[in-house]
Copies of this chain bind each other. A is one copy, B any other.
Amino acid sequence: MARSSKLSGFPEWLPAGQVVEQLVLDTARRVFELHGFAGLETRSVEPLETMLRKGEIDKEVYVLRRLHAAQSEADPGLGLHFDLTVPFARYVLEHAGQLEFPFRRYQIQKVWRGERPQEGRFREFTQADIDVVGRDALSFHHEVEMAVVMSSVLADLPIPPAVIQVNNRKLAEGFYRGVGAPDAASVLRAIDKLDKIGAEGVARLLETDAGLSASAAETCLRMASIRTVDDSFADAVMSLGVADPMMDEGVAELAAVVTGANARRPGSVVADLRIARGLDYYTGTVYETQLVGHESVGSIASGGRYDSLASDGRQTYPGVGISLGVTRLVSILLGRDLVEVSRSVPSAVLVAVVDEDARADSEIVASRLRARGIPCEVAPAADKFGKQIRHADRRGIPFVWFPDVAGDTVKDIRTGDQVSAEADSWSPHISDLHPTVTPSSSQEARP
């Protein structure tokens, strides 16, 4: 199930890898819909001005131009979207009059970023997002809900355990203000580099770029090292002796998310105060997600609360969302051989062809099986049966059907068992009906 990556950063899977990705997509969609999120797609392009207003991502945007655009043609300034949140905010503003709020939507699409490719980081990748957006106000409980829904998706997949790490921008920014930081955003950006440059590097940045004293920098780093599985982080924060009303609000919200999510899905969420999220638009809860044993690849599901991403001057549409990095997750599963796929074709049955003149008989058998939801294909040539069986075997198709005027038979080519069968009543075992994806022995072997 090797990956192909002939064009760096633009991954493509072989058919078995595609089965894994499809399982991730189907699981996300099923769980999202069970929670009442409506499917939505936005166009792949946005005006550059829409994208460059948000975040610090401008250097990563791909710009489009028609190959033979006339010189006189006005440049529309379109780029491929780099996430699904900014387009969604634009969509909400554009259609606010036709939507019901709070508006719950999921969105599964490709996004593009011209970043330097590395493991788990691509130039084209698929995200699966959920967001809830209110008009003027959005209840806090949706910040708990995001973690619960994403945890439900991850728990339904044949992957290593995943833990959602939660922090709160109000806690962080209030804390930084409380230690006397002149600009909370630059502290946030420095803390965000902890994984990359380590505590010492961040301490230096906090003093040089964020204008903190050595002791204030030290206090911020101690805060960022707090990680608890329950609301005990609050005492740890308080013990640092920093006071700020916005910080208190953030502490209370973070405690509510950790307690609320873990009450509904035990062990799904931890409070982790180093989580910063690079994007500027978050204003409350922020999420990242570690796949246990594969933390170095980065977060597989991230998001947060944003209060002012969508605003038309008269009304604002505060929202909260979380985004599953589908391509990153699948690339880990494939690249590290964490899953096994039962077969790479949907067919449960190959219907053999006795001779080319009797192909229609085999097609009729196939139609009857399909009418009852059994995926199957008819052998491409009336070769010797041994060759037709090998055709099925090479694709992992478990059953071969032999039409016969004296009575059809079907053979399980794994066991060799061959039994009489009627195309209107025979069914494979449910576990053979569709390709399955299971944890590989290398995943099972993990502690």
- Are B44 and A110 interface neighbours, CB within 8 A? yes
Complex interface: chain B residues within 8 A of A79 (CB):
67
Chain B's closest residue to A37 (CB) is: B346
Chain B's closest residue to A5 (CB) is: B43
* CA of A12 to CA of B40, assembled, Å: 9
- Are B65 and A40 interface neighbours, CB within 8 A? no
A236 at the interface (CB under 8 A from B): no
* CA of A15 to CA of B60, assembled, Å: 30
A215 at the interface (CB under 8 A from B): no
* CA of A19 to CA of B41, assembled, Å: 11
Chain B's closest residue to A264 (CB) is: B363
A11, chain B: closest CB distance, angstroms: 7
- Are A105 and B15 interface neighbours, CB within 8 A? yes
Complex interface: chain B residues within 8 A of A110 (CB):
44, 110
> What 0/1 readout, one digit per residue, does chain A (97-131) give for beta carbons within 8 Å of chain B?
01110101100001010100000000010000000
A7 at the interface (CB under 8 A from B): yes
Query: Which residue of B2, B44, B344, B380 contacts A102 across the interface (Cβ within 8 Å)?
Result: B380
Complex interface: chain B residues within 8 A of A13 (CB):
41
A335 at the interface (CB under 8 A from B): no
- Are A346 and B33 interface neighbours, CB within 8 A? yes
Complex interface: chain B residues within 8 A of A39 (CB):
15, 18-19, 22, 346
Query: Which residue of B14, B43, B58, B377 contacts A98 across the interface (Cβ within 8 Å)?
Result: B14
* CA of A112 to CA of B114, assembled, Å: 19
- Are B41 and A94 interface neighbours, CB within 8 A? no
Given contacts A12-B41, A14-B95, A36-B345, contact A65 B67 (CB under 8 A): no
Complex interface: chain B residues within 8 A of A313 (CB):
none
A232 at the interface (CB under 8 A from B): no
A60, chain B: closest CB distance, angstroms: 7
Complex interface: chain B residues within 8 A of A35 (CB):
370, 375-377
The interface residues of chain A, by DSSP majority, are classed as: mixed
> What 0/1 readout, one digit per residue, does chain A (11-48) give for beta carbons within 8 Å of chain B?
11111001101100000000001111111111111011
- Which of the listed residues A10, A22, A34, A68 has the most CB atoms from chain B within 10 Å of its own CB? A34
A141 at the interface (CB under 8 A from B): yes
* CA of A114 to CA of B41, assembled, Å: 20
- Which of the listed residues A13, A59, A67 has the most CB atoms from chain B within 10 Å of its own CB? A67
Complex interface: chain B residues within 8 A of A60 (CB):
66-67
- Are A63 and B67 interface neighbours, CB within 8 A? yes
Complex interface: chain B residues within 8 A of A367 (CB):
264
- Are B18 and A40 interface neighbours, CB within 8 A? yes
A214 at the interface (CB under 8 A from B): no
A105, chain B: closest CB distance, angstroms: 7
Complex interface: chain B residues within 8 A of A112 (CB):
44
A197 at the interface (CB under 8 A from B): no
Chain B's closest residue to A391 (CB) is: B100
A198-216 contacts to B (CB < 8 Å)? none
Chain B's closest residue to A41 (CB) is: B18
- Are B4 and A94 interface neighbours, CB within 8 A? yes
- Which of the listed residues A11, A15, A91, A100 has the most CB atoms from chain B within 10 Å of its own CB? A15
Query: Which residue of B68, B141, B360 contacts A359 across the interface (Cβ within 8 Å)?
Result: B141
What would 18 more interface pairs be, CB under 8 Å, given A4-B95, A6-B94, A19-B39? A2-B98, A11-B43, A13-B41, A14-B98, A14-B99, A15-B40, A34-B373, A34-B376, A35-B370, A35-B375, A38-B345, A58-B67, A62-B65, A62-B67, A63-B66, A66-B114, A69-B114, A100-B394
Name 9 interchain pairs, CB-CB below 8 A, sorted by A: A15-B99, A19-B39, A36-B376, A59-B67, A60-B67, A69-B114, A139-B381, A141-B359, A142-B380
Q: Which 6 A-B pairs have the closest CB atoms?
A: A36-B377, A36-B347, A66-B114, A10-B43, A33-B346, A59-B68
Interface residues in chain A, defined as those with a beta carbon under 8 Å from any beta carbon in chain B: 2, 4, 6-7, 10-15, 18-19, 21-22, 33-45, 47-48, 58-69, 78-80, 91, 94-95, 98-100, 102, 104-105, 110, 112, 114, 124, 134, 139, 141-142, 263-264, 344-347, 359-360, 363, 367, 370, 373-377, 380-381, 391, 394-395
